[in-house]
Amino acid sequence: MKPINPLLCHKYAYLIKRWRTLCKRAGLKMIKIADADGYPCFQITSPVLRSEGGIYFSAGIHGDEPGGVLGLLTWAEKNEGNLSSLPLLIFPCLSPWGLENNSRWDANGQDLNRLWDRCSPSPLLARIMQGLGTYTFSVSVCLHEDYEGQGTYLYAPGGKKEVRARADSVLGSVEKIVPRDPRKIIDGRKCARGLIFPRPTCPPQEGMPEALFLYHNCGGSNYTVETPSELDIRVRAKAHALMLQAALKNIR
């Protein structure tokens, strides 16, 4: 297996080609579910995915955050032999136009991570939201990056003791390569040792993000992980891959 070329992190066709190759080898199903801004968008599932107890991973809803896109692919390629036995639902890149253009927004100037409470979101999100109505998940992880980040941090809605413990172990899995973000306030929310536990009833004023939609509708442990965008993308991708693996170990 050839290493992922970090210089091609914004080349959607390159990333999708690698996913196609991996899915064929690993026995996963990769299907086109919609077109968005002139690009085909894909959903990946494993043969053991059922309506209950699934595992949801997504990346690239903000195109200027390629570390998560590469991290998800890195994790999948390293775990090729186990993928068909995991009940996976994967969205490898939710904003292809944004990725190609290094943009947080889609071609229409919309933040796709603030449309999950809309009656008429983008065609892609409408298709995904409709499909998610048939699933519950053991864990869902959304991969993000932050240009103001000073380390890794993590959102986990709710604040029960077991939620905090699991979230702490996910973030702790990368401390040796990326320290925790030391900030006490991030995006207006209290942060302690890189952990943010927002109230599920208080979405951002701009609109509901993907993770909160999953929390309310699909159950299970829910994490939004963030790496600092100014780090070497190879380090960021490795951090995302490690946090995905740690999230799987925390499934109850």
Task: Say what the pLDDT of residue 204 is.
Answer: 87
Measured between alpha carbons, how far is 53 from 109 in angstroms, rounded to an integer?
35
Higher pLDDT, 161 or 53: 53
Which domain, by its residues, includes 35?
A: 6-249
DSSP character at residue 4: P
Q: Are 219 and 137 in contact (CB under 8 A)?
A: yes
* Token pair of 117 as six digits: 């409470």
Q: What is the pLDDT of residues 143-190, one digit of tens each?
A: 999 999 999 999 999 878 889 999 999 999 999 999 999 999 999 999
Residue 103 within a domain: yes
Residues contacting residue 140 through CB under 8 Å, at least 6 positions apart: 55, 56, 57, 211, 214, 215, 218, 220, 221, 222, 223
Here the CATH number for the domain that contains residue 27 is 3.40.630.10
CA distance 170 to 22: 25
Structural domains counted in the chain: 1
For 85-122, give one letter per residue: b (16+ CB within 10 A) or e: ebbbbbbbbbbbbbbbbeebbbbeebbbbbbbeeeebb
Q: Residue 217 phi/psi, 5° resolution?
A: -110, -20
What is the pLDDT at residue 159? 73
pLDDT over 90 percentage in the chain: 87
Please, are residues 124 and 43 in contact by the beta-carbon 8 Å criterion? no
- Over the stretch 83-136, which tens digit does the pLDDT of each residue have? 999 999 999 999 999 999 999 999 999 999 999 998 777 889 999 999 998 999
- 159 or 195: which carries more pLDDT confidence? 195
Structural domain includes residue 37: yes
Does the structure show a pLDDT above 90 at 251?
no
Looking at residue 252, its pLDDT comes to 60
Banded model confidence at residue 74, pLDDT cuts 50, 70, 90:
very high
192 inside domain: yes
For residue 27, the model assigns a pLDDT of 98
Query: Region 205-221: what's the mean pLDDT?
Result: 94
Note the pLDDT of residue 179.
Answer: 97
Q: Of 92, 122, 89, 116, give the one whose Cα is nearest residue 217.
A: 116
pLDDT band of residue 205 (cuts 50, 70, 90) is confident
Give the list of residues 6+ apart from residue 54 with CB closer than 8 angstroms, or none.
87, 88, 89, 135, 136, 137, 138
Predicted local confidence at residue 36, as pLDDT: 92
Instruction: Identify the band that residue 70 occupies on the pLDDT scale cut at 50, 70 and 90.
Output: very high
Predicted local distance difference test score (pLDDT) of residue 250? 80
Task: Kindly indicate the confidence band of residue 194, based on its pLDDT and cuts at 50, 70 and 90.
Answer: very high
Side-chain half-sphere exposure of 141, counting CA atoms within 13 A: 31
Q: What is the mean pLDDT of residues 139-145?
A: 98
- Cβ contact 91:34 at 8 Å: no
Q: Which amino acid would we find at residue 100?
A: E
Q: What local confidence, expressed as pLDDT, does residue 80 receive? A: 97
Q: How far is Cα 112 from Cα 96, in angstroms, rounded to an integer?
A: 12
Query: What does the alpha-carbon distance between residue 154 and residue 50 come to, in Å, rounded to a whole number?
Result: 27
Percentage of residues of the chain with pLDDT beyond 70:
99
Q: How do 88-91 and 153-155 pair as beta strands?
A: unpaired
The count of other CB atoms within 10 Å of the CB of residue 13 is 12
Please indicate, yes or no, if residue 1 is contained in any of the structural domains. no
84 occurs within a structural domain: yes
Interval 61-86 mean pLDDT: 98
